[in-house]
Structure 1
Amino acid sequence: MSNGVVIPAAGQGKRMNSKVNKLYIELMGRPVLAHTLSVFISNNSIDQIIVVTAADEIDYCRENIINKYFKKNVELVAGGKTRRESVFAGLQAFSPAIDYVIIHDGARPLITQSLLNRVIETLNSYNAVVVGTRLKDTVKRVDSEDFVVETPQRSTLMTVQTPQAFLYKDILEAHKKVPEDYPATDDASLLEYMGKPVKVIEGSYENIKITVPLDIITAENILKQRRKCFEDRDRL
């Protein structure tokens, strides 16, 4: 099967207190987006990679991320005003030969080859796959005045991340047909609206999304620990 990747990368730096796109902030000597891309570029099961960024950042991204760190071809597409519009722009840019599409937040640089491979392997059995983690805290549903209405069973809840992978024709159809005002917070929500089953597989608590300044510190600590593990293994 032929696999394509869409990486939405038009993130702003508002909550990062940054004047630049948060994906260009350095993380252990490389931009966040470079860390994210490296996993997909080095995976032999990926046939086409599309990065969606703001139109006025395409040249910067090509020069300072793609050309600087990678040799493999990565296509750049101008995004829209919302994440959904940006993902749709990326989906429309794929070759007709693509069978499955993996959508992954550019702001999740700690994805591993192991997690990516498990997602791809699961596509052999399901046409829609997302990764998620079990809740550690109790969740309360509250009313408009923040009084508790209900305490859902934690065992039935998961926090969902990316990557999310889909049969290409299904996710493209969903983006076209689901009403624009539908409050979808991820791409899987569009498939759910269409009545398609979505399989959840175990993700990783390390697969964080860079959103606030503390996330950069957390990501650096995780990368340092991973590097130490590799060094310790090499000494054996």
Structure 2
Amino acid sequence: MPFLSLIVAAAGQGRRLGAGSNKVFLPLGGKPLLAYILAVAEASSLVDEVIVVTRPEDISLCRQVVNAAPYLKVRQIVGGGKERQDSIAAGLKAIAPGAEWVAVHDGARPFLSPALLERVIAAARDTGAAIAALPVKETIKRGNTEDLVTATLERRGLWTVQTPQVFRRDWLAAAYRKAEINGWQATDDATLVERAGFPVKLVPGEEINIKITTPGDMVLARALMAGDN
């Protein structure tokens, strides 16, 4: 089976959460957020190695999380950069030379299900690139700098993007090279892959696959966790 490397983006500072520290280490159900993702990767037969990208000052703490289980698929813990894009670029440099596929997942999305991971990987192997996403349900409006509505958008065909995102390694590497040459900036890897001219498949995600960004997200996460017990 083709070799797949999972890069976990775990270099967030948690400013909007008001955590005062890296949010991937916040406790949820007695474990740090990061541990839930590592556990899914460890149990998956489709993931061959894990590269965790965290803030340089958090490498030691991240190693403690990895060693506690232990999570044997974690091959490297590397320091990230100023922006998320810089961090994923650092992760790409650390993956195994023989890796043919790269998956990227946010360290602050602890409710990644094995089924979703499998669906996105399967779709990527058919098309070359695939991402988890949800069709937009709410009415979407565009506003101006004064917060006045300037347009109401047709929501049909609009999706909110999640992770995991899975790509052919050569496609993702090419996208990052072009981004560096052209000065592209993006908040997710699929945007760079799209700009590089490669097709990206949308795979229905899961409502529970939330990203912990605000205090309200932590309240919801704890409620979800309590509902499972």
TM-score (norm 1): 0.91
What's 2:47 paired with?
Answer: 46
Distance in 2, matches of 1:78 and 1:183, equals 20
Distance in 2, matches of 1:114 and 1:44, equals 12
Report whether the alignment pairs 1:67 with 2:67. yes
1:15 positional shift: 1.6
1:212 positional shift: 1.2
* Structural mapping, 1:20-169, within 5 Å: 20-63=21-64, 65-74=65-74, 75-169=76-170
Deviation sequence 1:130-187 (CA, Å, 0-9, x none): 1111112100122333333322211110101110000001101111211464231210
Runs of at least 4 residues of structure 1 off by over 4 A?
none
Structure 1 residues 71 and 134: CA distance shift in structure 2, 3 A? closer
1:20 positional shift: 1.8
Report whether the alignment pairs 1:195 with 2:178. no
Distance in 1, matches of 2:61 and 2:225, equals 26
Distance in 2, matches of 1:150 and 1:71, equals 49
Q: Which has the higher strand share?
A: 2
What's 1:6 paired with?
Answer: 7
1:219 positional shift: 1.1
Pairwise CA RMSD: 1.4
* SS of alignment partner, residue 127 of structure 2: coil
Distance in 1, matches of 2:169 and 2:220, equals 34
* SS of alignment partner, residue 140 of structure 1: strand
Distance in 1, matches of 2:42 and 2:88, equals 19
Q: 1:211 aligns with which of 213, 218, 226?
A: 213
Distance in 2, matches of 1:8 and 1:33, equals 10
Structure 1, unaligned stretches of length 5 or more?
228-236
Identity %: 39
Contact 2:9 2:106 in 1 (8 A): yes
Distance in 2, matches of 1:148 and 1:215, equals 27
The amino acid across from 1:153 in the alignment is E
Distance in 1, matches of 2:5 and 2:47, equals 6
Distance in 2, matches of 1:129 and 1:86, equals 20
Distance in 1, matches of 2:216 and 2:210, equals 11
Q: 2:227 aligns with which of 203, 212, 225?
A: 225
Distance in 2, matches of 1:73 and 1:197, equals 29
TM-score (norm 2): 0.94
Deviation sequence 1:107-137 (CA, Å, 0-9, x none): 0001100100101111231111011111121
What's 1:182 paired with?
Answer: 184
The amino acid across from 1:208 in the alignment is I
Distance in 2, matches of 1:71 and 1:55, equals 20
Structure 2, unaligned stretches of length 5 or more?
none
